[in-house]
Amino acid sequence: MRFRPSYADVDRAAIPVSSRQTTHGVWAGNTSLRERPVTVDTPTSTETQTPTSTPTFDPLQTKTTTPTPQNTSAGSTCQRGFFTECGGSPLDQATLTLLGALASVLGIVFELVRGN
């Protein structure tokens, strides 16, 4: 005889039940009139979903770890900052390059023309 109970009908199952061999018989008192082996199978997948609450995560304002390709791809949410990797800054690559080059050129020309 084989039977397949639903997993949801199993109460107080501390651990997932594995398939196992057992015996099934007809008994009169303590005397077994007839018995035969049976195999008890457990379902291989859960049929009912355990209700869970969906967690919510708030984005951190600062990061202390090295950025991974996953968070660098989300560039719209992480703008390069001046003192932090995210947070944004009025300065960017173009501004820094322009300021540096201009300051150097003007300083050199001023000093050369002045003659000091």
Partner 1 sequence: MARGQPAAWSTVFGLPIFLFGVVLFRFQSLLPLPPEPATPPVVGAVLSGFGLFIIAVGVYVHFVVAPAAPRTREGEHIVDQRSPAERNARVQMALALPVLAAGGYVLYFTEQPLVYPTVTFLVGLYLFSTGLRRYWRNLLTTYFVTTRRVLEEYRFISLRRNEVPHSKVRAVEERRSAWDSLFGLGNVTVRSGSSGQLTVAIEEVYEPEAFAETIRDQVGPDRPHEAVDGDDTAPPPGGEADTNETPSLDGTDETGLPANDG
Give 7's DSSP letter. G
Using an 8 Å Cβ cutoff, are 68 and 75 in contact?
A: no
Please state the φ and ψ torsions of residue 66, each to the nearest 5 degrees. -65, 135
* Least Å from the CB of residue 57 to partner 1: 22
* Least Å from the CB of residue 58 to partner 1: 22
Counting beta carbons within 10 angstroms of the beta carbon of residue 38, is it exposed (0 to 12), middle (13 to 18) or buried (19 or more)?
Answer: middle
From 13-21, 38-46, 48-56, 78-86, span contacting partner 1 (CB under 8 A): 78-86
Residues 85-114 that bind partner 1 (CB under 8 A): 85, 89, 91-94, 96-98, 100-101, 103-105, 107-108, 111-113
Using an 8 Å Cβ cutoff, are 106 and 99 in contact?
A: no
62 binds partner 1 (CB under 8 A): no
Contacts to partner 1 by CB under 8 A: 67, 72-73, 75, 79-85, 89, 91-94, 96-98, 100-101, 103-105, 107-108, 111-113, 115
